Amino acid sequence: MRKIAGSLTWGPAFRVEALARGGRNLRMTQLILFNVFNGLIIGAFYALMALGLSLILNLSGVINFAHGGFLAIGAYLAFALIPHIGFWGALLVAPFLTAAIGLVVERFLIRRLYGRDPLYSLLLTFGLAFIFEDGTRYIWGPQTLPFTVPDWLNRPLSDQYFFLTGYRLFMVLLVVAVVVGLFLILNRTRLGMRIRAGTGDLETVSTLGVNVRILRTLNFGLGIFLAGLAGVLAAGMLGLQPTIGSTLIMPSFVAIIVGGLGSLPGTLLGGLLIGVASGVTGVFFPSASEAVIYVMMALVLMVRPQGLFGEEGRIQ
């Protein structure tokens, strides 16, 4: 208990200390604000991963527990490509390669599970996650690999904006671009329209003559593309080793639940919310910053189970 007390009471004491030494005069409100900012950025990253998961879940009713594994594959592929086509080339190519692997997985494995209890997709992808973790360890080894990002991203924005780094800003801009792109695809293209329709009522869409099989495959590929992209981004911030995706999978599910099953804007918001919650908790109760998202999820589920934007009766 002493440790908890310790991290809670440093507030007033250090402020005086810092002021006395002419150090940075940081009030509690400023600190919270900075952490809200960073929380939004990390939340954007969670949202990216959760969006891919949500796409797959909404249309096909498949719980993709291998999403973290696809993230790792994206990261490793980028690492392999960087010496040949540079960071920006790898950023572009790796997600597509990962999506290609996703398409193969969908065609031969996931496709057989449509119409069945989501529990089976959960178990199959659980097994797949094992295979991916072991596979990446077998190919690249258990050691952490040094993943380099361009130098000019590797520093804080400025002295004034010392709490934002170039890399994080780049990350959030990229996620914004991707979300806008996703929105455009879903609302302005025929594929997107079919996906949205299929999410509502796949049977009717099928009777209207749409090739549901190809639709599901492309949708899965799109979701995995997002996972691969998240992987490249993660490798810039975290150590690259086979378990890089495994701690990120559960927060993605939490984001989906908090935002509401079946709603992509909800997933986006859910991701941002858990990022901010995590960041702000880091100020007051740092050791709980990972656990707080579960408290949030429990509260949401007990008070408003369908989440912020979810529809009642979705995926029972």
Partner 1 sequence: MSGLDKRAANALIWLLLLTMPYWIGWIGGYTSLGSRVLVLALAAMSLNFLLGFTGVLSFGHAAYFGLGAYGAGMTIKYLLPSTPLGILVGVLVGTVAAGVVGALIVRLRGVYFAMVTIAFGQVFYFIAYRWNSVTGGDDGLSGWKRMPLDLGSAHVDILNDDKAFYFLVLICFAVAVGIMAALLRSPFGRTLLAIRENERRARFLGIPIERHIWLSWVISCLFVSLSGALYALLNNFSDPHNLHWSQSGDFVIMAVLGGMRSFWGPLIGAAIFVVLQDYLSSLTDNWQSFIGLFFVLVVLFFPRGVLGMIRRRAGP
Partner 2 sequence: MTVKDSSSKKVSRRTVLKAAATVGALQLVPPFIIKARGEEPIKFGLNDPFTGTYAELGTNEKIGCEYAIAEINRKGGILGRKVELISEDSTSADTGQAVQKARKLIQRDKVDFLLGNVNSAMALAIGQVSNEFKVLHIVTGGHTDAVTGTDCHWNVFRVCNTTRMETNSVSATLFKKYGKRFYFITPDYAFGHTLQQGFEAALKANDGTEVGASLTPLGATDYSPYLIKAQAANPDVIIFLTAGQDAVNSLKQAVQFGLNKKFHIAGAQQELEVLEGLPPEARIGTWVFEWYWNQPKVRHVKEFVAGMRKVNHGKVPTARHWFGYVAVHTCAMVANEHKTLDAVRLAKALEGFTLPPEIALMPNKVFYRAGDHQLMPDLYVGHAVEKGPVAEDLFRVDEIVKGVDAALPVEETGCKVTWPA
Residue among 288, 294, 260 at smallest CA distance from 274 = 294
The 10 Å Cβ neighbour count of residue 299 is: 11
Shortest distance, position 121 Cβ to partner 1, whole Å: 8
Question: Does residue 311 belong to the site contacting partner 2 (CB under 8 A)?
Answer: no
From 291, 298, 299, 315, residue interacting with partner 2 (rule: CB under 8 A): 291
- The tokens describing 173, both together, are 């801009």
44 vs 212 by CB, closer to partner 2:
44
Q: What is the C-alpha to C-alpha distance for residues 198 and 262, in angstroms, rounded to an integer?
A: 12
What are the structure tokens assigned to 158, written together? 């400025």
CA gap 45, 178 in Å, rounded: 11
| Of residues 167-186, those binding partner 2 (CB under 8 A) | 167-168
- Provide, rounded to whole angstroms, the least separation between the CB of residue 257 and partner 1: 5
Among candidate residues 169, 172, 163, the one with its CA nearest the CA of residue 34: 163
Question: Helix 249-259 and helix 67-108: axis angle, to 10°?
Answer: 80
Q: Of these, 70, 253, 266, 271, which contacts partner 1 (CB under 8 A)?
A: 253
Alpha-carbon distance of 245 to 141, in angstroms, equals: 16
Cβ–Cβ < 8 Å for 206, 52: no
Positions in 279-308 near partner 1 (CB under 8 A): 287-288, 290-291, 294-295, 297-298, 301-302, 305
Binding site for partner 2 (CB under 8 A): 3, 6-7, 10, 14, 17-18, 21, 23-24, 26, 31, 34-35, 38, 42, 133-134, 137, 141-149, 151, 153-156, 162-163, 165-168, 234, 236-243, 247-248, 278-279, 282-283, 286-291
Binding site residues, partner 1, CB under 8 A: 1, 4, 63, 109, 112-113, 116, 118-120, 123-124, 126-131, 133-135, 138, 250, 253-254, 257, 261, 287-288, 290-291, 294-295, 297-298, 301-302, 305, 315-316
